[in-house]
Amino acid sequence: MLSKHLNEELNNQIMYEFFSAHLYLAMAAKFESLDFAGASNYMKVQAEEEKSHAMKIFDFIAEKGGDIEILGFETPVVKGNDILEIFEETLEHEQWVTKRINLLMDIAQEERDYSVISFLNWFIDEQVEEESNADAIIKKLRLIGDNSNGLYQMDKELATRVFVDDTQE
């Protein structure tokens, strides 16, 4: 059984994962308005990934006999005005999510709940990948600068991303 504190924080994390999905959909919409269909696709896939993360936590709470509560969240706002700024915002958001996952791990370790620790290890590894992916795109975009051919090629590359549900691993 989950402690009340861990149960509450895991429910909060479900909310944050769904918020992330909505933020990435808002970014996809912004990319559409900027005529970056490939970047829009990338963010739509990212949104699907975040929803699968939320459901992984949902299922874990249920498996542990906890109480699942679906919480609301604020409307996401995209602050960036171009492709680079939006991916920088993506990295900042993923760094914030990493802090949230680390907080959950801190609580699980404090409470010596080894099943939650084991479960959260997957998310810790996932966050390394999430931050690395965003950082790699940012580095490429900085290298490309305002080169229209480079931006076109980058958008083409981002269009190839497809959703693969890796939460069942």
pLDDT tens track for 118-141? 999 999 999 999 999 999 999 999
First to last CA, the chain: 23
Q: Is the pTM of this model over 0.85?
A: yes
Confidence of residue 169 (pLDDT cuts 50, 70, 90): low
Question: Do 65 and 1 contact (CB within 8 A), yes or no?
Answer: yes
Read off the pLDDT of residues 59-85 as tens digits, 9 standing for 90 and up.
Answer: 999 999 999 999 999 999 999 999 999
Answer whether CATH 3.30.930.10 is correct for domain 4-75+82-158: no
Confidence of residue 91 (pLDDT cuts 50, 70, 90): very high
Amino acid found at 17: E
* Average pLDDT value for the chain: 97
